[in-house]
A and B are shown apart, each in its own frame.
Chain A
Amino acid sequence: MTARTLALVLALLLAAPVAPAAVPDEAFDDYREVFKALGEQHAEAIVTVKFVMSVTNSGNEQRVEDRTQAVLVSADGLLLVPERTISLDFSSFGEGGQGAPVATSRDFRVRLADSDEWLAADLVTRDSALGLAWLRMRTPPSPLPFVDLSDGVRAEPGMVYFSVLRTSDEWGGVPVFRPGLVLGETHTPTFRLLVDGVPGLAFSHDGKPMGYVDVDLASMMRSRNTGVGMDMADLVLRMTPIDKVAAATAQAARLPVAGAD
């Protein structure tokens, strides 16, 4: 900062009147209680997963290690992750059609809350229509904290929801919370809630799961060139209602890990 800029900033600060509190403390309602309750109920069920995604092109396999957020959904180590981290079909982006490469993942490892170990996990199954996939920990320490998806609430436009995320070990692996808003709903091509916020499991203010929020990569790629019209209406995330997430998870819970048969 130059001396001139510094002087200008100081002058502005000195000139600014001391503003009285516009809203009394007792009338101000923030998210502290919600965050505290969510932390106590669910933070330990939110874990970090590392995986290796590979794409084969011209016979040569390129691999890259990546990380995502996962939710423990059973006491015996079933994990819910976004399906895009398991398989990514580039033809769905309109690039290359039938010949487009498909990226697939393996070497899943899970880091539980308050642990510095990476534990192996295997793919169970996935549901590309819902954009969900399930992993199972190979040797889960039991019992594990988990989110009961069967005890959810129906999301509706106008509702506020909360996401629980876990930072990487670079930031200490601590939980962080993000509020989001249900912006609308659509039945095209099927019923989904349209939301802002971040990908992951959405909770109500009292800690009930509401749905799974994710980005629709294929749709996003199709509408990436909006031009100068700046039509922002499609720039939303989609939330799969919790009843669909719970039903699919119940199916996945009965399956062995992929390749075990």
Chain B
Amino acid sequence: MIRQTTAALLAACLFVAAPARAQPETTPGPAPDPATIAAARDQVLPVVVSILVVREDFRQGEPVLSVSSGSGTVVTPQGHIATNAHVTQNGKSFRVVFADGRELPARLVGADTLSDLAVLQAQPPAPEVFAHARFADEPDLAPGDTVLAMGAPWGLSNSMSAGVVNNPRRLLVSLFDDEADYEDRLGADEPTGRYYAWIQHDAAIAPGNSGGPLVDLRGRIVGVNTRGMIFGGDLAFAIPGPDARDVVDALITRGAIKRSHLGFRLRSLKGTGLAQGVLVNSVERGSAAEKAGLRAGDRILAVDGTPVTALQPVDVPALQRRIAELPIGAEVALRIAHDGRERELKLRTRAQPEDRGEERAFAPFGASLVELTPGMGRRRNLEGERGLLLTGLRPGGPAAIARPALSEGDLLLAVDGQPVPDHAALEAAAAQPPAEGRPRVLSFRRGAEHRVALLVPVHGDQLRVPLPELPKAWAGVEVQPITASLARELGLGGAGFRITRLYPGSPLAAAGARTGDLLTAIDGVPLRAANDSSDDPFHQRVRDQIVGAKVRVEALREGKPVAFDATLSAAPANTASLRSLALSSLRIQVRELGFYDRAARQLPASQRGVHVDGVESGGPAGLAHLQRGDVIVRLGEREVGDLASLQSALDAALAAGNGRVIPVQVLRGPESRILYLERYWLTETP
């Protein structure tokens, strides 16, 4: 999965606007020996895996499952797989597919959004030793070096492309950008790239390559492909291998990366005319740096006695990282230049706050919320607050119709007086229905204001009622309009509506009508076609009758007059009138099979089944490749005839517990197909 950030897009646009200045110079050497490429390929490609992720995102206040894919490399004998954090982000379940086609479930060992790296571990049925590749130990790439990108672009596994390194230390700051805005553009709550410059190369990558290795001709992992560009040609970016190795090792050992924080950001000396030190770009309110007297505009000359200098923007990430890697709680001495004088400040490092809190949906409120971390609070002028930030609302849901209505960006502080700093607190305060359906009193912040709202929670499933119609008269035929002039040309002997389809057992069928008969009048009133295409005048004439009315329909059959005495029946239920069900265990929306479904598919009137109206791509039905429009006729060992039997067939199949998969038989177009539900999808996906 390749994430196209705003920064990348902006940079791409700039490259398009000024290609001559923006494109780095490359110095390609002689074409590498094919045998050398093959040797490097064979060291890594067999241990490159495709990663299938079932993601849970939130849309309109509700969780939505989808499937995405990325790439990774086995890097330990224990089956640890290095990939990108944005590949595993919001992942609820993972499967890895090896080069030989073997597919294994995997667990998330750890993820570090600031480096955009994550580690999965394959879960084989029995312990085994995995073949693996190795990271490069030193950042020794130079422009023009040949590199190989491996992975699964667009989900096409075992793919490899070759290119050269364009720039081994690339920051996405173009000649026209203000470097001070760089971090902000990387992602407000997850500023990937703060600590690492990327390798820019031109080995072709595409969405799906994310997390895959960049390999040099010695067969070393010199980078982890992280992002590419849709615009601007083959421009790709990879996290340097030695940096990735350190993060991956730490994730395997500790499951997380802990970093120190002093509360300031840096920028290079570029454009200042100065030659020593690094500028303080901003200082956070209330941070250790501010308390020690550091101010934006100061210049840091040394950290713990070691001189530091960043002449160009690309020098800054390494300095940021050096500070982040100081021990948490340690005292650090900064030599700074302030108003032309040098002095020393002593600060104590703190643990870097989480950039983004956990997001969840809370169904009784019809909203999705994220726990506000100190970092998020600082960026939103909500410093010191603890609460749940609204990220989405279900239209018409309780939060959306609260009085006053809540909106995205509101910070929920308390429910009925109980503070809700996290999801657990909200569950404790509001998971159970309030007594006598009373509304809950919500305290929240909107900008700088503290507000209150009344909210009536909804507990339990949303009911889906059919949309019934008043009964309308029906003759049971489809017709083609025949205008007077068309009738003359065709030699039909009169205008009217020609029967094109006769439903078995319908009123006109019972009265003896046949396909091809030309209907000319009802109860003596002529039937007139308005044009060559609209059959509405016939159907409206029928609908204007009363259900059960006896009518005399005049017609021409092979030019000779005939008449049918028909008793009009009530029209079959149309699609919207049918009962529907949202089956949360399968993540599908289904409805009864109706008369018009059978008619459209030319199925017999006795055909039973359940029509699939919608499939959530990452849910069990989506993973089994069910499609909208399928008719489920059998699940497990049971026939499926209606909504109730679908539910009971699913319950029975799960209770039976025999076999890894549950077969599902569907009608799709003219075919009957068998699909397979993996049993664990029903138990492991959310």
User: Which A residues are closer than 8 A to B by beta carbons?
Assistant: 50-52, 56-65, 86-87, 89, 98-99, 102, 104, 106-107, 109, 118, 122-123, 125-129, 188-190, 248, 251-252, 255, 258-259
Contact = CB atoms under 8 A, between A and B. Distances in A.
A258 B469 CA distance: 10
Interface in B566-615: 574-576, 587-589, 600, 613-615
B394 A59 contact: no
A204 B589 CA distance: 46
A189 B465 contact: no
A109 B615 contact: no
A104 B576 contact: yes
A87 B470 contact: no
Given A125-B469, A126-B468, A189-B537, A63 B589 contact: no
A68 B89 CA distance: 41
13 contacts: A52-B396, A57-B614, A58-B615, A59-B615, A59-B628, A89-B576, A106-B462, A122-B465, A126-B469, A126-B470, A129-B472, A190-B541, A190-B544
Contacts of A65: 395-396, 400
Interface stretch (B92-100, B164-172, B616-624): B616-624
B459 to A, nearest CB: 15
B396 A58 contact: no
Nearest to B580: A104
B613 A56 contact: yes
Main secondary structure of the interface of A (DSSP, over half): strand
The 9 A-B pairs of least Cβ separation, nearest first, read A52-B396, A259-B465, A189-B536, A190-B540, A59-B615, A189-B540, A107-B396, A56-B614, A59-B614
Given A109-B401, A188-B537, A189-B539, A259 B617 contact: no
Interface residues of B, number: 44
Nearest to B582: A61
A60 B401 contact: no
Contact of A125 (B64, B394, B470, B619): B470
A60 B576 contact: no
B629 interface: yes
A129 B547 CA distance: 14
A69 B575 CA distance: 26
Interface in B377-398: 394-396
Contacts of B613: 56
Contacts of A126: 467-470
Interface in B532-546: 534, 536-537, 539-541, 543-544
Contact of B468 (A51, A58, A125): A125
A127 B543 CA distance: 11
A123 B576 CA distance: 13
Nearest to A191: B544
A4 B493 CA distance: 74
Contacts of A104: 467, 576
A151 B185 CA distance: 66
A89 B463 contact: no
Interface string B394-430: 1110001100000000000000000000000000000
A56 B589 contact: yes
Nearest to B400: A65
B616 A129 contact: no
A59 B589 contact: yes
Nearest to A128: B469
B134 interface: no
Nearest to A132: B470
A128 B60 CA distance: 30
Given A102-B576, A190-B544, A259-B463, A59 B469 contact: no
Given A52-B395, A64-B395, A65-B396, A59 B540 contact: no
Contact of A60 (B64, B396, B462): B64
A248 B472 CA distance: 11
Contacts of B394: 63
Contacts of A52: 395-396
Contacts of B470: 125-127, 248, 251-252
A29 to B, nearest CB: 39
A143 B576 CA distance: 33
B466 A259 contact: yes
A57 B463 CA distance: 19
B131 interface: no
Interface string B472-513: 100000000000000000000000000000000000000000
B614 A106 contact: no
A98 B600 CA distance: 8
B59 interface: yes
B318 interface: no
Interface in B346-399: 394-396
B530 interface: yes
A56 B530 CA distance: 35
Contacts of B629: 99
Nearest to B529: A188
A189 B540 CA distance: 6
A122 B629 CA distance: 29
B568 to A, nearest CB: 14
Interface in B268-299: none
